[in-house]
Amino acid sequence: MVKKKGLVIAIDGPSGAGKSTVARRLAKRLGYTYIDTGAMYRAIGWKAKQEGIDPANETALAGLCGRIQVLLTNDADDPRIAVDGIDVSEAIRTPEMGMTASAVSKSPAVRARLLSLQRDLGARGGVVMDGRDIGTVVFPDADVKFYLDASPEERGRRRYRELSAKGMAVDLDRITRELRERDLQDSGRAIAPLKRAEDALLIDSSDREIDEVVEAMLANVMQKGNK
Ligand code: DC
C-alpha cells in the first residue's frame, strides 16, 4: 500500500477553458505537483510527426509507444516536458500540435501508455492533474474533481490572446473553429472521451477571473480534505 502524501485533484474540461492556468495556481497554493496530461499527448503527437507516423496508423503508434521516453520536470513555475532527451515544451504549444495531439489521443496504444504513466505520477497523491479523462478514467476515485468549462467563443478568444502574446500569427475564427473540431473529436472518441464525471463540480469560467476560479476550487478542496 503506497502511503499518500496529499490529495489527488482532477481537473477536466475542453480546450481553452483555462485548466492549465488554474491547475498550476491551485497546485502552487497547496504545495502540490501540477501534472499537465495534455502536454504528454502533445509530446507523443510531436514525436509521431517527427517520424512521419500517420495518427491513424495504430501499429506504428504502438511501436512508438514501446520505445518513446516522456519525461516531465515539475517545477511549479516552469514545468517542462522532454521526449527522448529533447525538450519540446515550446514546440508542442502550437495549434497544429493541439490537433495532432487530439488525433493521436484516439489510439488505444497511446492511451494505455500514458494512463500507466499518469497513474504512477499520481499514486502518492499531492497532485493536481488536468486533462480530459482524469476524473473519469485515470483517477475515478480522485479526492476532488472539477470540470472546468467556458463558452466556445470565450475559449477561442483566450487561445487567441495566448498565442498572439507569444508572437504567433493567428486568426480568431480559425482558432475557434479548430477548438470546436477538437471538442467534437475529444468527446466523440471511443476510449476515455471527454465528459464530466458525475461527481465533478462544474465550474463555468466564461465570466469569471482566474483568481476567482482558483479560490472557489481551493474552498472546495479544503472542505473535501477535512472530511
Ligand atoms: O489539454 P491540451 O489542449 O494540451 O490537450 C491536447 C489534446 O490531448 C486534447 O485535444 C486531447 C488529448 N488529451 C486527452 O485525450 N486526454 C487527456 N487527459 C489530455 C489531453
The pTM (predicted TM-score) of the whole model is 0.95
What pLDDT shows up at residue 2?
A: 52
Q: Give the Å distance between the CA of 179 and the centre of ligand 1.
A: 12
Listing from the earlier edge strand, what are the strands of the sheet with 86-87?
A: 70-73, 80-83, 86-87
Residue of 44, 61, 102 best suited for mutating to test ligand 1, as the one with most atoms within 8 Å of CB:
102
pLDDT in tens, 79-132: 899 999 999 999 999 989 999 999 999 999 999 999 999 999 999 999 999 999
What pLDDT shows up at residue 53?
A: 98
- The residue among 10, 9, 8 whose CA lies nearest residue 131 is 10
- Here the cell at position 76 is 511549479
Cα–Cα distance for residue pair 227/215, rounded to 1 Å: 19
Contacts of 93 (CB under 8 A, 6+ apart): 42, 166
| Residue of the CA atom closest to atom 15 of ligand 1 | 105
- Long-range contacts formed by 215-218: CB under 8 A, 24+ apart: 217/22, 217/26, 217/146, 218/26, 218/29, 218/30
Q: Give the Å distance between the CA of 227 and the centre of ligand 1.
A: 31
- Cα 135 to Cα 4, 139, 217: the distances in Å are 18, 5, 15
Q: Report the chain's terminal Cα–Cα distance, integer Å.
A: 21
Q: Give the Å distance between the CA of 36 and the centre of ligand 1.
A: 9
Q: Give the Å distance between the CA of 82 and the centre of ligand 1.
A: 17
Which atom of ligand 1 has the smallest separation from the CA of 19? 1
pLDDT in tens, 173-213: 999 999 999 999 999 999 999 999 999 999 999 999 999 99
Residue of 40, 41, 183 best suited for mutating to test ligand 1, as the one with most atoms within 8 Å of CB:
41
What pLDDT shows up at residue 4?
A: 65
Q: Report residue 6's pLDDT band, with 50, 70 and 90 as the boundaries.
A: very high
| Residue of the CA atom closest to atom 20 of ligand 1 | 38
Q: Give the Å distance between the CA of 212 and the centre of ligand 1.
A: 24
Q: Report residue 74's pLDDT band, with 50, 70 and 90 as the boundaries.
A: confident
- Ligand 1 neighbours, Cβ below 6 Å, are 15, 37-38, 41-42, 98, 101-102, 105, 131-134, 182, 186
Q: Sign of the C-alpha dihedral, residues 187, 170, 211, 226?
A: positive
| Residue of the CA atom closest to atom 5 of ligand 1 | 38
Cα–Cα distance for residue pair 35/122, rounded to 1 Å: 9
Which atom of ligand 1 has the smallest separation from the CA of 15? 3
Burial 147-183 (b: 16+ CB within 10 A, else e): bbbbebebbbbbbbeebeeeeeebeeeebbebbeebb
Listing from the earlier edge strand, what are the strands of the sheet with 8-12?
A: 33-36, 127-131, 8-12, 144-149, 201-204
What pLDDT shows up at residue 160?
A: 93
Cα–Cα distance for residue pair 80/99, rounded to 1 Å: 20
Residue 77 clears pLDDT 90, i.e. is over it: no
